[in-house]
Amino acid sequence: MTDKLYIARVGDRIVFPTWRSLFHSLYHSEEGRFLNVPDCKSVINSVLEKVEAVRLTETTFVPGLSMRFVLEGAAEYQPGVPIQQVNNFLNGFNFGSNEFHTIYDIPTSTYSFISPKLEDILGISQRDFTLPNLYGNLPGGMHHPSDVFHAVRWGNLAYVVFGIPGFRFRANEDHYLIKHRIRVSDSCIKPLANSEYVMIEKRCYLCNDIISGDKLRPSMHLDRWTVLDNERNHFVRPQFVTTPDQSAVMNAVLYLLNALLLNVPTKFILFMNERMDTDRNKAVAVRVSEKMERYARVKPDIDDQKVADCFAKTIRAKMSDLIHIWEPTAEGHSVKTDAEAVRTAQKLGLLPIPLLVERLLYQGISEL
């Protein structure tokens, strides 16, 4: 992994935690204790190994990864209503004129069912609504070039979370929610075709059962799709929806996996998090310093010049490198301002920091 232990440079007085260390902090926090994992180190090493597998594929569409993560997963899966019964109910109940549903088969990486409503709502043939067409970045595909790699990255990381011991997933209830844009310029519905893209909100509910060893695991998920107006300033930022206590920890884990994969130093994230609300370096320095004193009892020596230097010399370059990887449409574009750096971090799902992660991050700061 590239998230090495921080080695202080000569003259450094403040040591910031790594993303890896924050996993340990989360498991031992008051919120994370319900996970009740006896061998925390082993679990974290297993999770990090899966993140490395995602890193090696990077922006390549590899649906087989999801099956591997499901089979290796150790989370608790609670079966619910049989999938066919749910499907029959959905077919007979009209949730809305802008909604349809599909059933995705994890082992074969294909949709085993696509609601006929797809054609009425999007004006697109069922045969064109395929995973490679949506997420494979194929020429002429339905993917949005600025969203597709983000959606693939988040989807792979979500499957990692699905397998973490201590989490519980209730079939037909708990779900993964993500919004991204798809191309509809080939729609037979003229107003949609003219708009070129629409926003899709997808809710993925795990369901059905397979047995691997002596453990039940999900083999399908039922997806409810809602078609929304296109959003010009959109960031792909998914979330898990489950019980309130579990949601906070689960979404914190998802955020940490993403941050670890992207490998942005925690110090950069703290500066950019405050930059969202102010354009003054002095205000950023004051806010970061106040939180370091409050949470870590550390008196930092951060001033406006250090903030300015960090943005100009390191943060902007790092954000430029990352956006060139994850958004092909940004090729050749350099992040030249602090505001652009913050917007790029938002696109990558690094901002805003979840409150639980922000607290643990500041508590993990130490003084040499």
- Please report the pLDDT score of residue 331 as a whole number: 67
Q: What are the residues whose beta carbons fall under 8 Å from the beta carbon of 232, sequence distance 6 or more?
A: none
CA distance 128 to 135: 12
Higher pLDDT, 142 or 3: 142
H or E segment and range at residue 110: strand 110-114
Mean pLDDT of 195-199: 94
Mean pLDDT of 213-234: 85
Indicate whether 193 pLDDT > 70. yes
- Please report the pLDDT score of residue 6 as a whole number: 43
Place of tokens 């290796």: 72
Mean pLDDT of 93-101: 84
CA distance 13 to 301: 9
Classified as helix, coil or strand, 137 is: coil
Radius of gyration of the chain (CA): 22
List beta partners, residue 211: 216
Q: What does the block give as tokens for 37?
A: 């994992």
What is the b/e burial string over 153-162, where b = at least 16 CB atoms within 10 angstroms of the residue's CB? bbbbbbbbbb
The answer to whether the CB of 28 falls within 8 A of the CB of 364 is no
Mean pLDDT of 33-40: 82
CA angle 208, 213, 216 (to 5 degrees): 25
Helices H, strands E: what count in the chain? 15, 12
Q: Tell me the pLDDT of the chain averaged across its residues.
A: 89
- Please report the pLDDT score of residue 8 as a whole number: 42
Indicate whether 1 pLDDT > 50. no
Mean pLDDT of 157-161: 93
Q: What is the DSSP letter of 35?
A: G
Calculate the CA dihedral of residues 196, 334, 12, 282 and round it to 10 degrees: -80
Q: What long-range pairs does 275-278 form, CB within 8 A, spacing at least 24?
A: 275/311, 275/338, 275/339, 275/341, 275/342, 276/342, 276/346, 276/351, 276/352
State phi, psi for 105 to the nearest 5 degrees: -95, 110
Calculate the CA dihedral of residues 212, 215, 220, 222 and round it to 10 degrees: 180
Q: What are the residues whose beta carbons fall under 8 Å from the beta carbon of 106, sequence distance 6 or more?
A: 66, 67, 70, 218, 219, 220, 221
**Range of lowest pLDDT (64-68, 218-222, 250-254):** 64-68
Tell me the pLDDT tens digit for each residue of 243-302.
998 999 999 999 999 999 999 999 999 999 999 999 999 999 999 999 999 999 998 889
Place of tokens 């250090």: 306
List beta partners, residue 77: 169
**Mean pLDDT comparison of 13-27, 29-43, 203-217, highest-scoring range:** 13-27
Indicate whether 7 pLDDT > 60. no
- Please report the pLDDT score of residue 96 as a whole number: 78
Q: How confident is the model at residue 9 (pLDDT cuts 50, 70, 90)?
A: very low
Place of tokens 């010009």: 232
Mean pLDDT of 33-37: 84
- Please report the pLDDT score of residue 330 as a whole number: 66
CA distance 326 to 55: 12
Q: How confident is the model at residue 337 (pLDDT cuts 50, 70, 90)?
A: very high
CA distance 11 to 322: 29
State phi, psi for 288 to the nearest 5 degrees: -65, -45
Mean pLDDT of 95-100: 86
Place of tokens 């890896």: 20
The answer to whether the CB of 152 falls within 8 A of the CB of 178 is no
CA distance 28 to 356: 13
The answer to whether the CB of 133 falls within 8 A of the CB of 109 is no
**Range of lowest pLDDT (25-39, 203-217, 261-275):** 203-217
- Please report the pLDDT score of residue 208 as a whole number: 79
Q: 109: buried, middle or exposed (CB in 10 Å: 19+, 13-18, 0-12)?
A: middle
What percentage of the chain carries pLDDT values higher than 90? 64
- Please report the pLDDT score of residue 332 as a whole number: 67
List of domains in the chain = 62-252 (3.30.450.20), 265-367 (no CATH)
- Please report the pLDDT score of residue 117 as a whole number: 93
State phi, psi for 193 to the nearest 5 degrees: -60, -40
Q: What are the residues whose beta carbons fall under 8 Å from the beta carbon of 96, sequence distance 6 or more?
A: 226
Mean pLDDT of 19-24: 92
Tell me the pLDDT tens digit for each residue of 245-260.
899 999 999 999 999 9
